[in-house]
Amino acid sequence: MRLTKKIAILFSGNGSNLEALIKVLHNKRFIKSDKKFQQREGFLIGGIENEFLEVKASNTDSFRVEVVLALSNKSDAYGLKRAENLGVKTCILESKAYEKREDFDGALVEILQKEKIDLCVLAGFMRILTPIFTKQIKAINIHPSLLPLFKGAHGIKESFESKMKLGGVSVHFVNDELDGGEIIAQGVLIKNNESLEEYEQRVHSLEHFLYPLAVMKVLKGDF
């Protein structure tokens, strides 16, 4: 069976995760190999059991990933340029034009349902989502801390400033509770004597490595 899995990516700003996801996944075909996931790139990853291999279109067991839409709730988000440069359709749904959260979420759901997506991928989408969205759309999110620690908008800074010796990132399902849905995969970083900016850089590198793997895991129904 040569399946295509459609995803939409939602973001609000810089869009470095958006770009990483498009570069690794868009218009490519993969198979889940029997090979056990090998730790690499200096990261320790939990929750990804198998390797995913990119394969040619002739491989009949493969699934193709298509990023059908990159949607921002802010018209000045730099991620819009990144998506355009990579040939992905973009859309702006200005959240500030909506007084009620539910109305924005309703409009968002309508757009996503039209695209017939298999999965909605949040990548720096700075919105609290209501049940209007969470009850109708299967979505995942990436958060820059080892959840359930340091939920909310300051995950990187709070992890950095905490007495913990480890930091990391988490990919989780989206539900009504902020950063509270079931955890899909996590990556760990050993904290060292570095500046916040340096730590932040390493967090982003880890995110860019982990998120595409977690998306493939969910698309393959391994959850």
Which residues are annotated as catalytic? 143
Of 43 and 64, nearer to ligand GRF (C-beta) is: 43
Beta bridge partners of 32: 52
Among all residues, whose Cβ is closest to ligand GRF?
Answer: 124
> Is position 17 an interface residue for ligand GRF (rule: CB under 6 A)?
yes
> Is position 207 an interface residue for ligand GRF (rule: CB under 6 A)?
yes
φ, ψ for residue 116 (rounded to 5)?
50, 50
User: Which pair of tokens denotes residue 204?
Assistant: 């982003």
> Is position 62 an interface residue for ligand GRF (rule: CB under 6 A)?
no
Instruction: Identify whether the C-beta of residue 9 lies closer than 8 Å to the C-beta of residue 18.
Output: yes
The piece of 51-59, 81-89, 98-106, 136-144 that touches ligand GRF (CB under 6 A) is 136-144
Q: How far is the CB of 205 from ligand GRF (least distance, A)?
A: 11
Specify the 3-state DSSP secondary structure of 133: helix
> Is position 206 an interface residue for ligand GRF (rule: CB under 6 A)?
no
Task: Give the closest residue to 29 by CA, choosing from 1, 65, 61.
Answer: 65
Give, as one character, the DSSP assignment of residue 75: T
Of 18 and 22, nearer to ligand GRF (C-beta) is: 18
> Is position 134 an interface residue for ligand GRF (rule: CB under 6 A)?
no
How many whole angstroms separate alpha carbon 127 and alpha carbon 66? 24
Q: How far is the CB of 35 from ligand GRF (least distance, A)?
A: 28
Q: Which of 144, 167, 187, 212 binds ligand GRF (CB under 6 A)?
A: 144
Peptide bond into 131 cis (omega under 30): no
> Is position 123 an interface residue for ligand GRF (rule: CB under 6 A)?
yes
Burial of 101 (0-12, 13-18, 19+ CB in 10 A): middle
Q: How far is the CB of 31 from ligand GRF (least distance, A)?
A: 27
The piece of 8-16, 53-61, 63-71, 212-220 that touches ligand GRF (CB under 6 A) is 8-16
How many whole angstroms separate alpha carbon 20 and alpha carbon 15? 9
Q: How far is the CB of 130 from ligand GRF (least distance, A)?
A: 18
Site size with ligand GRF, rule: CB under 6 A: 13
E-state strands within 148-193:
166-173, 183-190
Binding residues for ligand GRF, rule: CB under 6 A, are 11, 13-18, 123-124, 142-144, 207
